[in-house]
Amino acid sequence: MLFSLVLSFHIWSAAFAQIESAYPCNFTPHTDGCGNHGWLWNCSHRSLTKIPQDIPIKYKDKFLSLDLSWNNFREITTSTFQNIQTNFRSHITGLNLQGNYLTFIGNFSFQSLNHLCELNLSNCSLSKTELTTQAFVNLPYLRILRLHYNYFQAKGYPDVTLSKIFTLETLTIDVFDGFHFSSLFRNLTRLKNIKFFTGKSRFHLTNFTFSGLFHSPISYLDLHFRYSVYCDVSEDIFCSFPVLKGVDIEFGGLCDLNTVLRSLKCLQNRNMEYITAHRNIPKFVTSAVFLTMKNCKYLNQICSKKVDISHNRIARVLYSPLKTVMGQCMEYLDISANRIEFIDANYIVDLLTRYPKLQVLNASLNSVGGNDFMSSVSDTFSYIKELNLFLNHSLSYKTQTKFVYKSSSEKNFKENPLITIVLSKKLKVFKFSKNYIHRPDPSFPFKVSLFATNLIELYLVQINLPCQYMASLQLPALENLDISGNGCNEMNSRLLEFNLNLKRFSASGSELNFTGSLSDGTIFRGLKKLEKVDLSSNGIYVLPSTTFKDQKYSLKSLNLDSNGLSSVPVLHLKNLSVLYLRYNKIAFFSESGIRNAMSLSKATLFIKGNPFNCECTHISSLKWLRENQNKFGDLNETYCIDNQAISIANFFQEASFVQFELKCQTKEWLIASSIMLFSVIVVVLVPVVIKRYRVHVDYLILRLRSRWRGVMRTRYSQSFQFDAFVTYAEEDYTLACHTLYQVLSNRGLKISLPDKDFVPGLSTVEQMLQCIDDSRKVVFVVTEKFLENGWSSYTVQMVVTHAFHNKRERSIIVIIKDDIPIERMPRDLKFVWWSIVSIRWPNCEENMGSFWDEITAALLHVPNT
């Protein structure tokens, strides 16, 4: 049994050795933490228990870093590195043993690596007893040691062992309940950087916590102890860091900013590069933080270039630090994200105008629920009697500056009242985003401008900016302006005219839709250094062609995302490299859109989210898009509106697009054939229809001609020039003119005849219709000759058409001679026979009297309409 176990162990060991040798370590270029350029010998995550192989000869005389992390090393002794060639050991400058479960590190274990500079022993489950006192002896170049995430909580730090690394400059280490740096750490006189890693336990910071680091030249310190440190922090903790130049403090979770301010006692009267204390917010907020002269007494006496007290839920600022040491030294102040409910207007005026060295001011994200933490300033704007507040603090109304007006007359001020807020000459960056400015009353009588000689960056995002009251900004050094998230559709088109050094402008979501005051497209006129513009989410449907006229060679990036554009709206921007047109309304590229896109020779277009139409009707657009795919940066994320399953980039692949083209060609032939068939039918049928309905066509043409000439009768009265218009065949001239005309005229009736009233040379049809309009009745004399004459049918059709069109169909009288039966009447008369008065010519002379009486009565009768 025992023999079998031993045999199995040897077989397993041989197999494991084969596994180790089967995956040789990799060599990649590498620079270690000390700045040595060489190679990384990566043997990580290989279940190694020993260093597996010789180093290839080609890496001789090169700096090497050996990565043995996350393997199965259990102990480190002097023999661990013996299988590395001697001439290579002296070139190993970095060693990573992170993640090995080490139970022992013996004396002089690393001395064969006599040029070791960086050593990582983190996550190795080490405690104080696993590290022998001489473990790091004879390492004259060791500068970086990482010991965090080990088990020092039970017995404390291995201070004796660490105190012998006289060259140590950087240390990472755990902090836990009861941790402190003993007097043995005072031997680390080169220790400059120390980084703390918190565990799950909470701890106190006492006078003695860092006392052992007093002789270490630590210049910069990060105390990120969120949720770990109790709030009884000693006022003297920084007394252990005599050369401290920068400190970053985060005691939140249990403590608020007051705990931080109380801990700064030993930093008084020092010159600091920065003091950062952000996110010091208790999990359960019990009381608001007010900044007062009392709780800031230590901070006020520190000469720090940068002060960052952002994200601390400061509710009120009840004093001005202008005249303190901090106020006189401060170059950078960040009070953002504090939700400040109140700050006196005078303090704000001081910040903007009077701090002697302040260059960067970040007061963003401070309003709460629409409250304005500068409300007293807004109130001051509302009343002219309070204007002295600004006069006394270098904020004055001006009617004359070198940028705006040439005259300072009283008349000019009354016509163009202007308040110019004059900022400090030192101020270079001002951030006031995500606050809330109460807009002045509509009766507010002034325009407001900013004047700042050296301001380079201005951020006014989502502040309810009163754009309609803004005059031209007078910021000659300004390079970056962001007014996103404001309602600026009524903005002055000359707002930027004096900012000739502007390079970046952002107005996303600001209603700059280039209508109204902005429709002339002159907002960027003269800004020939402008490189980047963001106009996304502004509801832009049309961009004036002159908008970027002066940025032909300067503009490099233009963002027009999420607007209503249907084409590429810009052209001839020679150095434009990026054009964002995502989420617009581009369905296809028109000829002008293609022309504009091709004129942007260096630009990459982004068009994702547009409703692209991939139908055959836009095949020319799709072909151009396919041939110029390299001009677009996101075709793999762009989809046809009718097919969201496949991107346009895949749609353009050879096989699918060829099939699409063939389908379109079939459709084109079908459409062309249909058009040709329709044309043939039209050519054949139109003459037939015209011939069949010639009268109606002629009548329509005649009416149009009369309308154009202005002679069309639009209303018919009851008074007529004639009682009857008589139409007849030429062969019946004697019957109509001698007999009918004479008898009716003798009876006092006025009769119109073609031969009597028509003027030679004029249109017969027009004159006939005119005579019909001037006559109460129309009389047809139907004889055999009338029926035989071809033109009579045309005449009948024209008269009937005209009569019915003018609702005079009951004004037609037909005199039938020669015993002609009704069946032989012209077809057009038979169709309306129900509305016609028909009278037959008598065969006997004795009946002629009654015949003439009947005709006379019919002519004098007025039909009901």
Phi and psi torsions of 135, nearest 5°: -60, -35
pTM: 0.72
Give the pLDDT of residue 722.
87
Whether 157 and 181 have beta carbons less than 8 Å apart is answered as yes
pLDDT under 70 in the chain at which residues?
A: 1-23, 368-416, 440-444, 666-673, 685-686, 688-718, 761, 763, 790-810, 828, 831-832, 862-865
141: nearest Cα among 160, 161, 169, 108: 169
Joined together, the tokens standing for residue 209 give 């916590």
Q: Which residue has the tokens 């700059």?
A: 512
Give the pLDDT of residue 333.
97
The pairing of beta strand 578-580 with beta strand 429-431: unpaired
Whether 509 and 484 have beta carbons less than 8 Å apart is answered as yes
**703-717 pLDDT tens trace:** 554 544 444 444 444
Give the pLDDT of residue 699.
54
Give the pLDDT of residue 403.
39
**834-845 pLDDT tens trace:** 777 888 888 887
> DSSP characters for 119-180?
EE-TTS---GGGB-TTTTTT-TT--EEE--SSS-TTT---HHHHTT-TT--EEEEEE-TT--
Distance CA 520, CA 512 (A): 12
